[in-house]
Amino acid sequence: MRWGRAFVNEAGAEVLKAWRAPEFLLPTMLMPVAFFTLFAVVVPGSSDSPAYLLATFGVFAVMGPAIFGFGVAVANERERGWLDIKRASPASGGLYIAAKLFATVFFGALSLALIYGVAAFVAGVSLPTGTWFAMMLVHLAGSVPFALIGLTLGFLLSANGAVAVSNIVFLALSALGGLWIPVFVFPIAMQRFATLLPSYHLSELALAIGVGGDRPSGLHAGVIAIMTAVLAALAAFAWKRQRG
């Protein structure tokens, strides 16, 4: 009960802190829906692929809060000595990370709600109710590996370095993972490289749910699980390193 109350307080503080930072909210929440609207509604011929774009841009929507919410925020707090204060307090490090993860999923869900709304009411995407929920669960669960990437960057880099590197990682995962342009139009070497990225496998899993086709969802889910475990180990290493 005490841990639960502490988590609610910590998570509420994280959400409020991010809510009061428009420089965080505007890019991470509005850019994905703006891109989706452009490619799924405005661009000529886009009416043929809104369901496809919903699956890929849903991954794009959760990446921003995860990478920037962890990477930049943690680096800033570490540089200002806030993590030292946290370690001196009775609250555990796990509680701190869990609260940030909650805030990441919360803002990721808001960004997804915007894209799903445009998809349903403007782009004309029509899917069974169960498919909508299944795709949303995949998109929200996709926050976790990207949050671990952001957490690692936040523990290892300075505040300024985290901003620059987070932007590079965010854009690279988006472009090379096939979130903006389908991977099958890439050169063979780039297609093979895409299979090393969590953004690719998450988008393929979402596409298997929303579009179908010859996509082995079990394989993609397994690869994502392995990547998440590796990223968790990397984040734990970075946590121990910055504590030392």
Report the candidate in 162, 169, 171 with the shortest Cα–Cα distance to residue 75: 162
In the predicted structure, residue 1 carries a pLDDT above the cut 60? no
Mean pLDDT of 199-214: 92
Residue in the structure block whose two tokens are 């903006």: 180
> According to the model, what pLDDT value does residue 46 have?
58
Express each pLDDT in 216-233 by its tens digit. Answer: 889 999 999 999 999 999
- Looking at per-residue pLDDT, the higher value among 242 and 214 belongs to 214
**Looking at per-residue confidence, does 85 or 150 come out higher?**
150
Structure tokens belonging to residue 166: 């987070």
Q: How far apart are the first and last CA of the chain?
A: 32
Predicted confidence (pLDDT) at residue 169 exceeds the cutoff of 90: yes
Q: What percent of the chain stands above pLDDT 70?
A: 89
* 218 contact partners, CB below 8 Å, separation of at least 6: none
* Distance, CA of 109 to CA of 18 (rounded, Å): 14
Find out whether 234 and 226 touch, Cβ atoms under 8 Å: no
| Average model confidence (pLDDT) across the chain | 86
pLDDT of residue 30: 85
pLDDT digits (tens, 9 = 90+) for 46-105: 555 889 999 999 999 999 888 887 778 888 877 777 666 666 665 566 777 788 888 888
Distance of CA 81 to the CA centre of its chain: 26
What is the pTM (predicted TM-score) of this model? 0.89
b/e map 61-98, b = 16+ CB within 10 Å: bbbbbbbbbbbbbbbbbbeeeebeebeeeebeeebbbb
Residues 235/209, Cβ–Cβ less than 8 Å: no
